[in-house]
Structure 1
Amino acid sequence: MKNYIYSKLGLAFAVCAFMFSTNTQAQIKANQTIANASINSSTAFLDAASSVTWNGSSTLGKGMLFPRTDLTQLVLTNNGGFLAGNNPNRFDGIIVYNTATGNTPATGSGIGNQPVAPGFYYFSNPGSPTAVTTGQWIAVGASPKVTIGTNEVATNTLINVSTGVDKQVYAIKGSFTTTGTSTSVTIPSPTGMTSLYGITIYKVNGTGNKVVYSRDLYSYNIGATNNAITGSPSMSVVYPADTYDYVLEYIK
């Protein structure tokens, strides 16, 4: 009798194991029949594209809900230790959907004090296997979809400076008014700005053609009054009297 019981238990275990493995394969390739669930030969480890088999239509599909978090509060921690073998660079590549507008914490969140807005972000920390201090949250693609306003936003541009450490490029929108008699104008320097990356000067309102007027300045002096000279790098130019809008891109 005992042998019979053990045999039934073994059979039940085998059936459960088969069902578990079949379900696991289905999760790997969820848009196919169970028989075609394995995608060992595919570059993709997960294929959940729409399929008539599961949805009854090739146009009906499912979306993936990413983890939602508040990057103005999130501090990266490793309670219980960090398994470097699983992720050689600490937290490098983590993707989240940020729900808040503001700045990341000064410490515990990479370089800290980064402006963020609702949208997808990933943590870039390719150069440090032991710390998060050099990492930074970077918007994924065109996300977050924010309008440049009076406050700065982090762009999707990183530049590699002479030290080999990537620098975030920020942007801010503003306007200046010219008298038509001087090349000097005031374009305020944002807090923490260390270098000008680029500028686009255009007109939304005012007289004349409402088009991009210039992507150049003759010179720019951080922190001074009348700190910008209009024109190109080779020649200063007196702008006609009017109000001009600009987007200033810079690094800190």
Structure 2
Amino acid sequence: MKKEIKHTLLFGALFFGGMATAQVRFSNSTMHTAILNGSAFIDASSNPVSNLSTNVGKGLLYPRTDLSTFKAFGGAPIGIPTSFPTYYDGFTVYNTNVGGQAGVGNTQGALTAGFWYYDNKSNTINGGTWKPLSAGTVTTNTLTNTVNTITSTVNGVAASAPAVNTVSNIFTPADSQLSTTVNGVTGTIVDLTTLKVEPWFVQNSTTQATTDAQTIYHTGNVAIGQNVMFGAGEKLAVNGTIRTTGSTYPDYVFEDYYTGLSAIKADYTFKSLKEVENYIRENHHLPGVTSIKDLLKTKEGYSFNLTELSVQSLEKLEELYLHVIGQQKQIEGKDLEIENLKTRLSRLEKMILSHK
């Protein structure tokens, strides 16, 4: 009998022991000890029944709750070493409500269906914030670009990076092509011939040219600023002003006349009319003006420098003014002399008449 009882007790111990080792293990909540001194609070990996099955014991079903009606955390006292010392920080639930705010604490954005956790570092039970666990539920992104720096703020976390690290441009004048490389990536080559517009028109049209080749054909006429010539026989028509550059300007005439020397043109000397007359008689052209002998003659006629000729013409004009001014002074002097002679003559006439 005793032997049978021993066999029965041994069988029961083995049976219940096997059952005990086959269940999910929890930490000892009374003694506050972990599972066999392990780090896990709940251990289902040691359950052979669940591990050997393809669909049994494979997940954890959370209680479902509507956070908008979740008004208070239970389990007082809260915040003491033996009762929720972290004020439910990290507390995770499955929320069923869509829209609105949680009934307790703060809410990041609006409620959506899915897992939410309570992020609470405030050391007060109601000072935390409910945040969604699902990556797809939060899409807060602020992107700004200031002085080549892109700043992105995602879910309150800011980061910045340079928009462009390196830029290089290569321009090939021969074929008017531009290539741009940004951060090591080279873009499509741009043909600038279609973008660059020349001031000249395409031959026999009013379309602006896109190449730097000037073509003048047919009549040989050139019109700038308009489409037609001003009159018959003209070869160049300019609708606007013309500006040219030169090495000097005829103010040296006045400078030499009044000071005896010109710093503008040291080799210039103002000549009297007698000197000019003698020069013309000998050379058959004005002094300081290019002689026809020095001009290039082509089959179309003489070729001369318009800028040089305009300076020479202004030089002669200024000289004429000075000669006229000098002659005017001589005339005024002679007029005064004539008036004096008239006065003396009148006195003599009176004296002669008084002695008769």
TM-score range, shorter chain: 0.3 to 0.5
TM-score, with length taken from structure 1: 0.41
Structure with more strand by fraction: 1
Higher relative contact order (CA 8 A, sep 6+): 1
* Structure number, greater radius of gyration: 2
TM-score, with length taken from structure 2: 0.30
